[in-house]
Structure 1
Amino acid sequence: MNDTKPTLRPITEIAKQCGIDDKFVMSYGQYVAKIDPAVTKQNAPKGKMILVSAITPTPLGEGKTVTTIGLSQGLNYIGKKAIACIRQPSLGPVFGVKGGAAGGGKAEVLPMEKLNLHLTGDIHAITAAHDLASAALDARLFHEERLGEEFTKQTNLPLLNIDKNRVVWKRVIDHNDRALRNITVGVGGGNNGVERNDGFEISAASELMAILALATDLKDMRQRIGRIILAYDKSGNPITTEALEVAGAMTVLLKDAINPNLMQTAENTPALIHAGPFANIAHGNSSVIADIVGLQLADYVVTEAGFGSDMGMEKFFNIKYRQAGIAPSCIVIVATIRSLKSNSGKFNIKPGQPLPKEVTESNVELLSIGCANLGWHINNAKGYGLPVIVAINRFPYDNQEELDFLQQYALKQGAFACEVSEAFAKGGEGTAKLSQHIVKACEQQHTVTLPYSDDMPLFDKIQTMAKKYGANQAKLAPKALQDIEEIKKLNLAHLPLCMVKTPMSISADPNLKNVPTNFDIDVTHLQVSAGAGFIRVYAGDVMTMPGLGTLPAYRKIDLDDAGNIVGLS
């Protein structure tokens, strides 16, 4: 293996490599730039998209980002023009348990410290715009309650009559901070504002992040922001950012954030980094704008969907594809031998703890049990009408007997191909064979198949998705049934679903491993993301403000004597 350190090229050279004129490049230092989406042209030839997903996640990780980056390098290695499109990592996970999201080894976006820390400030812009709406809403509530009818006389503005108990717009911050999940604002009343219960979510969970990832241009983003529902009035009518007259200022704060960020991989393959919506409470994919730019600049765009195929991949089709019309040409499911063994349900594996020897040593019988999870994800992906390729992300201790077994199993389950990926160790060379399979798969004609239509009744959509996970039914709580009726009154029942559930199981119960059977999915409530254009269906508790664990990653991050960042991964 060649261990030479990667040589980075100036980002202006990477832009020229993509065919981007200097006038569309806004450099942020030597190795990062924002790209003006105006670089795209109408009726220009479009490349093919490869969507990378995975089996059910485990604490071990499957290597989706490494595979995504490695595939973009592998396609270039075999003579194709490829670009990677990935999400921007949030600071919360970077300083928490997960660490960074730049890939690794010879399949990494560089400089990784730029990617993982701030980048060009997009997430900070989202935080500022989001919290401006929070401040505006609480200020309006304060002044209306203080002045009553006099408010309209002084301002010539109508009374919004905000119901302080129905404010649905929490504040955000880009850190894991469990102490902020539930707070009280306006404590003491008087000039401190109206006292009410509130809370924080992490910035990546903001609806603005989903909007940034789904907007097609600045005008579209402005219209979407104007549709955001912040609260309800005392008669139950929604109060939007437009009604509060804050949508324009929020958009101004995001004016530069709408431009995707250009970086490069360890092999100088271009990488577009843009947006970072969660895959459980949003659609878990990088931006539509980055896709549009990438598909006009390259023959192939390799993009990644968060978590397993029942999460980010599902939402790519049900939300992103419905709204933007961008369809992949094939799907790659990433699996590892050790994660499949973990998905067998035989172990309770936790981050930072030593792996059981059964996981790292040859054990075809255990692997065969866990392979059922891979089989489910292959067939789930095939259900959307596209060829599915399995990428086995190889680890040094994987043995050939198990690799052969896994390849044969994937092909029997209907995979178009199954190939070992050595992106981490060998970069593009390590995904060359996998890339050749992908080129062949992308040559096939296909039609995307969706699990439900827009006009299907909302209740039936929920049942359809529950049964797709293998559930007997979705059991809706009274609050969920009430929410359905309210969504109908808002004329928003046509919107697609964003199923909010655990990523750690195909079901909504993280304790049900492998391929669960004979279970129900309990739906507690629904919430409209009117600006992003989907309905969140909550099936269990999903944490939108993570907490720091006992051994967070920030403990190892520091500067050395030369001022270099160390300990960041």
Structure 2
Amino acid sequence: MKTDIEISQAATMLPITQIAEKVGLDQESIELYGKYKAKVTYETIKEKEHEKLGKLVLVTSINPTPAGEGKSTISIGLADALNRIGKKTILALREPSLGPVMGVKGGATGGGYAQVVPMEDINLHFTGDMHAITTANNALSALIDNHIQQGNVQQIDTRRVIWKRVVDLNDRSLRKVVVGLGGPMQGVPREDGFDITVASEIMAILCLADSIHDLKKRLGKIVIGYSFDKEPITVEDLQVEGALALLLKDALKPNLVQTLEGTPAFVHGGPFANIAHGCNSVMASKLALQLGDFVVTEAGFGADLGAEKFLDIKVPVLGKAPDAIVVVATIRALKMHGGLAKTDLGQENVESLKNGYANLQRHIKNMQQYGIPVVVAINEFITDTEAEFSALTELCKKDQVEVKRCAVWARGGAGGEELARTVIETIASQEETDYRKLYHSDDTIENKTNAIVQKIYGGNQAQFSPKAKKQIQLFQQLGWSNLPICMAKTQYSFSDDPSKLGAPLDFDVTIREFVPKLGAGFLVALTGDVMTMPGLPKKPAALNMDVTDDGQAVGLF
């Protein structure tokens, strides 16, 4: 059986100019990054801004398990399947981060015969967007320290600088550092730390900005810390938003690539959903909607994280709610949520499947409360049995939800045609979606946080640490309480305890602190022990990677 990279490298890709032509873009509309990658020009984006929007399909999933779910694979396969049955469809996905690529989770280009290509380019340096974001973030750090060194006109309290440096790798040793050591010529000593690039507010800003003007405005709102009088200090106070925007001017343009079957794909932006908002860029999504009749996009991790943030944070900015939501699950993962050990997942166990269905059921009901129809997609494995699928079908039927098997990993778009037809029928059966947000912007910070804990996680309430309580009071005084909440939480459980699988009940979620992200336009609520800088596992994926003498990537999944 071929590996993902072997399948990818054996594929015959179309020149990216031909992919652009499929969506009505000529060679003047794109900027080439080699034969198979391109960015769309600002002039083209502006020309398309008043085009009618197509239908939007959001792909999300149950809480991930080591058994695997394959959300990106289903997204890619569904887009291919929609094109196969005659629907002009475009894919809109996030860019992978080098952290998980070199770590354990893997990339974000799908798998088997449902991949975006060139897979190795996308998973490594791609068009340089991640590096531009890293550079802009760290340029701001350098400018902050230089401002302090050169007289500190803004009276920045070095104990209250909240802006961190970033690197696009998992590097736990950098979580806590001290900078400025070595005497007066080396700067002012202070505590600092590193986040992973995808957790940077600049990543979130890039994904939510709709133009260079908006990008610059959002960058100016970034809070980098507080003065000795505890007043917030912003990028605008330092007068460097223009310089940061300059570093990001090319990264802001959406990237165009293709699937193995030649479906146009905008792969742009990559915030994690467990520590950020988990959705690809507004500019890429909107452009796809303007160019296609159908757009398939995904939200990171389970629906309790990525989909909730897509619906409560991204949709108001995008100006378009999904017309249907596809919740991805595997029978293997559901059995694991039902208490079965990973080593036993290959054996038929209908009882564990029924127990684990509680996780899928909660996600289904959560998505339905937004007023959007839901379809369940089961990513097939060879160990699945007819008895298990029959039991799952009956469970979904009781909840009045369509469930379809998908074999896109093994068969590409052909393995997703039944799902594609079901999605189209589901959308056609709705005159229009009755999208409604989970909470109102003028609710209190406490109420918005509790709305997520109670209505999405199924918990009792949020418990706020003394630090979080003080921050709530401060944010209210500063006029920030109208912002949405972006929960930083474990992806493995509805709760803030990763060991609580299935659909746990009777739990609280502890908010240890808030981080204001005014440029992005939300407040991050940190829960449990979620880290904004992950670490590498004992045996990182990097150990399997190499490159041949002729430049071919080896061992990249």
Shorter-chain TM band: over 0.9
What RMSD, in angstroms, separates the aligned Cα atoms of the two structures?
1.5
User: CA deviation digits over 1:133-158, x for unaligned, max 9?
Assistant: 0000011111226xxxxxxxxxxxxx
Which residue matches 1:34? 39
Equivalent residue runs for 1:17-28 within 5 Å: 17-28=22-33
Which residue matches 1:54? 61
Measure, in 2, the Cα distance between the counterparts of 1:559 and 1:462. 47
User: CA deviation digits over 1:519-568, x for unaligned, max 9?
Assistant: 11111111210000001112222111111111111111111243211101
Equivalent residue runs for 1:29-428 within 5 Å: 29-40=34-45, 41-144=48-151, 159-347=153-341, 355-357=342-344, 359-415=345-401, 417-428=402-413
Measure, in 2, the Cα distance between the counterparts of 1:437 and 1:29. 38
Higher mean C-alpha deviation, range 132-141 or range 1-10: 1-10
Displacement of 1:37: 4.5
The answer (yes or no) to whether the contact 1:337–1:398 under 8 Å persists in 2 is yes
What letter matches 2:85 in structure 1? I
SS at match of 1:272: strand
Equivalent residue runs for 1:1-20 within 5 Å: 5-20=10-25
Displacement of 1:323: 2.3
Measure, in 2, the Cα distance between the counterparts of 1:561 and 1:321. 47
Measure, in 1, the Cα distance between the counterparts of 2:124 and 2:491. 25
Report the TM-score, using the length of structure 2 for normalisation: 0.96
Measure, in 2, the Cα distance between the counterparts of 1:246 and 1:510. 40
Measure, in 2, the Cα distance between the counterparts of 1:510 and 1:244. 40
Measure, in 2, the Cα distance between the counterparts of 1:346 and 1:510. 16
Displacement of 1:42: 4.0
What letter matches 1:363 in structure 2? N
Q: Residue 535 in 1 paired to residue 495 in 2? A: no
Which residue matches 2:539? 551
Which residue matches 1:509? 497
Measure, in 2, the Cα distance between the counterparts of 1:272 and 1:208. 20
Measure, in 1, the Cα distance between the counterparts of 2:363 and 2:231. 41
Displacement of 1:168: 0.4
SS at match of 2:278: coil
The answer (yes or no) to whether the contact 1:6–1:267 under 8 Å persists in 2 is no
The answer (yes or no) to whether the contact 2:207–2:269 under 8 Å persists in 1 is yes
Structure 2: tracts of 5 or more residues without a match:
none
Measure, in 1, the Cα distance between the counterparts of 2:49 and 2:125. 33
Structure 1: tracts of 5 or more residues without a match:
146-158, 348-354
Measure, in 2, the Cα distance between the counterparts of 1:189 and 1:262. 48
Report the TM-score, using the length of structure 1 for normalisation: 0.94
Which residue matches 2:424? 439
Displacement of 1:485: 1.1
SS at match of 1:360: coil
Measure, in 2, the Cα distance between the counterparts of 1:224 and 1:242. 10
The answer (yes or no) to whether the contact 1:81–1:300 under 8 Å persists in 2 is yes
What letter matches 1:475 in structure 2? Q
Measure, in 1, the Cα distance between the counterparts of 2:238 and 2:50. 39
Displacement of 1:188: 2.9
What letter matches 2:68 in structure 1? G
Q: 2:483 aligns with which of 487, 490, 495?
A: 495
Measure, in 2, the Cα distance between the counterparts of 1:15 and 1:380. 37
User: CA deviation digits over 1:185-235, x for unaligned, max 9?
Assistant: 011331111111111011111000000110111110110001001111000
SS at match of 2:321: coil
Label 1:407 to 1:38 Cα distance change in 2 as closer, same or farther (>3 A): farther
Measure, in 1, the Cα distance between the counterparts of 2:114 and 2:217. 38
Displacement of 1:451: 1.5
Q: What number of residue pairs does the alignment pair up?
A: 547
